[in-house]
Amino acid sequence: MNCRCNEELEYFVKEAKKVTKKGKVASYIPALAEASGDDLSAAVYYGDGTCLYAGDVKKVFTLQSISKVLSLALVLMDHGPNKVFQYVGKEPTGDPFNSIIKLETDNPGKPLNPMINAGALVVTSMIKGTSSADKIEYLLNFVRTLANDQSISICQRVSESEFETSMINRSMCYYMKEYEIFRGEVEEVIDIYTKQCAIQMNSLDLAKIGSVFALNGKHPETGKQIIPTDIARICKTFMVTCGMYNASGEFAIKIGIPAKSGVSGGIMGLSPNQFGIGIFGPALNEKGNSIAGIRLLELLSANYNLSIF
């Protein structure tokens, strides 16, 4: 990887860092509460394989909800969009990521989209394999291929911490099981899902994965088509419409790029046909997005005209 620290990016990171004090590190998954709130790092990975970074980009964090884009890509590749969208919808919700309410009021049992927990749990239940270990290994290998980094691993402590506390996620699985939308074994899927969310990497790897989506599924380092173009397109569209929780509309107006965030404070973004962005800033705003990460993207978008709209 041809990576170097970049002064301009460092300046924007320093600017954005000023807002970390106004955010709060997630604590509902106990192990996440240990992150240090004033961290902020960012990397930009270009289609030609060069990359720029600022901040402590070696710091490793768990993907949390960012993993939803990756499991979706894999499941769409294996089952095809028609089958997947029988069980999960394509519409934004306007509700928090773990909200259960629309499962009852809107098309009972069918989650509105794969970026909310209910939809992601259905997607995870469709990962191929003969055992839960097999399925998570399959997903992990796909993520390793996307990052072209075999060392990517799962943070056991974070996955166990979430597994013990995931009662709302379990509730949603049982609710959807009643409607035969969710067809897996609840404990097995919660096991895979919590491990999927605990896949850990640094912002350089995350930026590189973002660049695969930016290049319509083609890997900038290996030149291989990892994800078919039409599936990369579907994933990017979900990132635009539902990627930033119930702040996706505001994000689209203010920043205007496909992006997906997670409660660990990670954000994977991209500029189509140009580069991927990986950010880690664990202090979150009230909607659950990295507060300094959003500020940084606002600065980058305004300065480099990144909005796709």
Binding region for ligand GLU (CB under 6 A): 64-65, 97-98, 117, 162, 169, 197, 262-263
Q: Does 68 qualify as catalytic in the annotation?
A: yes
Residue 17 CB, nearest distance to ligand GLU (Å)? 22
Coil, helix or strand for 90? Answer: coil
Q: Does 60 qualify as catalytic in the annotation?
A: no
Residue 267 CB, nearest distance to ligand GLU (Å)? 11
Q: Which of 122, 193, 261, 264 is catalytic?
A: 193
Look-up of token digits 């500020």: 295
Residue 162 CB, nearest distance to ligand GLU (Å)? 5
Q: Can you say which residues are annotated as belonging to the binding site for substrate?
A: 65, 117, 162, 169, 193, 245, 263
Q: Does 218 qualify as catalytic in the annotation?
A: no
Q: Does 46 qualify as catalytic in the annotation?
A: no
Q: Can you say which residues are annotated as belonging to the binding site?
A: 65, 117, 162, 169, 193, 245, 263
Based on CB atoms, which residue is closest to ligand GLU, 145 or 264? 264
Based on CB atoms, which residue is closest to ligand GLU, 37 or 217? 37
Taking every pair of Cα atoms in the chain, the longest distance, rounded to a whole number of angstroms, is 55
Q: Which of 65, 261, 290, 301 is catalytic?
A: 65
Q: Which of 267, 284, 61, 289 is nearest to 157 (CA)?
A: 61
Residue 94, Ramachandran bin (φ over 0: left; ψ between -120 and 50: alpha; else beta):
left
Which residues touch 293 (CB under 8 Å, ≥6 apart)? 16, 40, 42, 261, 265, 266, 267, 279, 280, 281
Based on CB atoms, which residue is closest to ligand GLU, 65 or 248? 65
| Contact present, 111 and 103 (Cβ < 8 Å) | yes
Which amino acid belongs to residue 230? D
Based on CB atoms, which residue is closest to ligand GLU, 251 or 275? 251
Sign of the dihedral through C-alpha 142, 148, 149, 155: negative
Q: Which of 13, 44, 45, 68 is catalytic?
A: 68
Beta bridge partners of 290: 284
Residue 2 CB, nearest distance to ligand GLU (Å)? 31
Q: Does 245 qualify as catalytic in the annotation?
A: yes
Which amino acid belongs to residue 225? Q
Q: What is the DSSP letter of 21?
A: G
As annotated, the active-site residues are: 65, 68, 193, 245, 263
